[in-house]
Structure 1
């Protein structure tokens, strides 16, 4: 999305910042202009964000009118170099740090190029390199800070938000691409227009069936089972096959269940001779799916669905961040306070892991995600002065059911992005 602003508004963002912050940003911009060749084509006006591997800036494309930009603006461009356009077009410049590996950088740029035609996904306009500096140029998407609207946005407007998000995920997953870092900061949404854009594919990876390790009790995804299905894997060693940890299958639905929980031996082995497990843990704390926390080596696009469900949870509970653990162990404990000990054991079993907990406050059976949401936000169902109380009540119940569809501990039971777009809460008439 291109944003056209009058000339007098160009430096408004910079001028509105505190003096010390402005001085720091100006010094940072000067350093970039001196060290990155090719940056003279742009005029940086603000810093949009900063992460572990990159920083993103808002800039004016000074040479925009020199080129035919119809492919990404949808508008015919003025190609007369003697009469440049009086309006300015903003772009987003992503400066990728040199600490990021070349393969990671190439992977991100390749994915952005592949998803060029996907809806609601920020794509690549161009990229250039100056020695060890890489800058990716993307359309600027006007958006609001999530913290400014997540408490006050009407529940009916959530439909626009999540239609955009799940359309983006549908396109990415159809291309066998897992975003891996779905969170509010990476989904640029403008409440005024109802438009949203999924960005930052720095942690994204391609799902390759040939890399399937087959170490868990869930199968490789297929067209009929896009997130795989639960199935006993007799080809792996598992103490769950032993007495006290038996694994059985309910033949009526073909899903694994625990007959008896693992033995109550809580703690760490002093001299643990078992080999360590290496699994992809990319993502942001509070948004990592259970299979990521359990270090499952066969992760599927369903982990993005979980992360999107956590965003929905923030809207419905009006709490953000909802989960804020220091490490994976605490994160699993946070989930156990909601879902209960038994369901966490079953989830661990699915990934050939063990969940042991002797904290008295952790309930055995847990609670439904719907009950958890209503407990945190007991006024959620109240219509108040809503002009259509019955319509509001229906929207709330459908949104609660959508949260349930996204936040299954069992990754094989989570709905796909395409199924979610047909959910009653998001389905368009």
Structure 2
């Protein structure tokens, strides 16, 4: 072993050598390597020693340590015993947790074991979400299963973040405040009035719905009505010009105009494993709630049921959306986009691909990573397919359906999913 290799081994640390006998490599990932170690002071006492990657950002290290220290050892969250920093190296000592290899978890779990696995995953997520922690990287490799003892452990919190629901009325730039559009039939006038921050204008509809979209489309077509006159009490002339459609030609349309193609990319947190990211991440929604963990849990369950890993294998975010649409259908995605104004948030992506990628129902079983013997799960044949399943399998399908709701508002919470499983006696 040369000098470089030795320096990359945990035994090259004086603190590690003094306290542990380093054994086999248990696993490795983006954020570091995990080794089996034996305590020198307590022989036969085994631990898992994780050495974080030296290139890890301090915020990732801090978040993992914070979550493990505050929540570890409870509700199927991995326990932490010690942490140590030595120059540019960080070590975390955790429980040694013998578990099934990932391949065996995917291949050999029975339906009852899948339900027990998911129940315990939801226990961990309900606990974290109740404490405003979003894991962001839920997948089979990060939820360990000890089959002999029926124990579970959620690991890898480097991508986690604390969630605090934002007040939409706060921190809204002047130019981004909502514009209310009202028609005055008596004088055939259209007035555009800017709502003051935190104050509702008279007659303003507080419930978003189709009227919002119709208003935008109406403003876009204003320049075609010569009899109407614009009366502005707030937005500058340049803003009115943009709203009237003189620049952007694709507002709420399934196309991308030249103006939108040249807009800068919208930067949001896209952390997570490709194929497990929720639609709200792919569509770059500003608010990313704990519900994104539920989507990833649904993909995890789908992988266990189909015995295929990974289920989704996207090359990029656009392909990921197309693969999601093949399972959920395009209609529910489109409905979510309209309701949340998401269509205009993905102008840098060619969402026309979503429509062109729909595949006929008769080959639905082959859509998911070559799952030749799988059930047809497309919307057209869904009721018939579910009715032929055993009760425990029907429960599995229903859980997947509630997890894989593209709209996070409709998606079940961990608490709701946990109650559903327990109500069936699991």
Taking structure 1 as the reference length, what is the TM-score of the superposition?
Answer: 0.70
Contact conserved, 1:286 with 1:323, CA < 8 A, in 2? yes
* Cα distance in 2 for residues equivalent to 1:126 and 1:231: 50
Alpha-carbon contact 1:98-1:133 (below 8 Å) kept: yes
Matching of residues 351-370 of structure 1 within 5 Å: 351-354=340-343, 356-357=351-352, 361-363=356-358
Please give the alpha-carbon distance, in whole angstroms, between the structure 2 residues aligned to 1:233 and 1:36: 63
Correspondence 1:341-380 to 2 at 5 A: 341-354=330-343, 356-357=351-352, 361-363=356-358, 376=371, 378=373
Equivalent residues in 2 for 1:120-159 (5 A)? 120-159=76-115
Contact in 2 for aligned 1:159/1:426 (Cα 8 Å): no
Whether 2:285 is the aligned partner of 1:296: answer yes
Q: Quickly say closer, same or farther: Cα 1:52–1:152, change in 2 above 3 A.
A: closer
Moved over 6 A (4+): 211-215, 237-240, 364-367, 369-373
Match of residue 263, structure 1, among 253, 256, 267: 253
Gap regions ≥5 residues in structure 1:
1-22, 66-84, 218-229, 247-260, 382-389
Task: Show the 5 A alignment for 1:124-273.
Answer: 124-210=80-166, 232=208, 241-243=216-218, 262-265=252-255, 269=258, 272-273=261-262
Displacement of 1:393? 1.0
Query: How many correspondences in the alignment?
Result: 346
- Aligned-residue offset at 1:323: 0.6
Measured after TM superposition, the shift of residue 348 of structure 1 is 2.8
Change (3 A) 1:150 1:112: same
* Matched-pair contact (CA < 8 Å) for 1:126–1:136: yes
- 8 Å CA contact retained: 1:159, 1:425: no
Alpha-carbon deviation of 1:134? Answer: 0.5
> Alpha-carbon deviation of 1:273?
4.4
Shift, 1:156, TM fit = 1.2
Quote the offset at 1:178 in angstroms.
0.2
CA distance in 1, matches of 2:266, 2:162: 21
The two structures, once aligned, show a CA RMSD in angstroms of 4.0
Could you say which residue in structure 2 is the equivalent of 1:412? Answer: 409
The answer to whether the aligner puts 1:318 opposite 2:307 as a matched pair is: yes
Please list every run of 5 or more consecutive structure 2 residues that lacks an aligned counterpart in the other structure. Answer: 179-205, 222-250, 377-386
Matched, 1:111 2:82: no
Question: 2:396 is matched with which residue?
Answer: 399
Give the deviation of 1:203 after TM superposition: 0.4
Q: Does 49-58 or 403-412 show the bigger shift? A: 49-58
Q: Equivalent residue for 2:247? A: none
Matched with 1:54 is 32
How far is the alpha carbon of 1:231 from its aligned partner? 5.3
Which protein shows a greater Rg?
2
TM-score by length of 2: 0.70
1:33 and 2:11 aligned: yes
Structure 1 position 30, deviation (Å): 7.1
In the alignment, the residues of structure 1 paired with residue 293 and residue 220 of structure 2 have an alpha-carbon distance, to the nearest angstrom, of 30
2:201 aligns with none
Q: Which secondary structure state, in structure 2, belongs to the residue aligned with residue 148 of structure 1?
A: helix
Paired residues for 1:67-78 under 5 Å:
none
CA distance in 1, matches of 2:220, 2:352: 15
2:332 and 2:396 mapped to 1: Cα distance?
23
1:256-307: CA deviations, max 9, x gaps?
Answer: xxxxx943425x7377443431111010011000001111111100000110
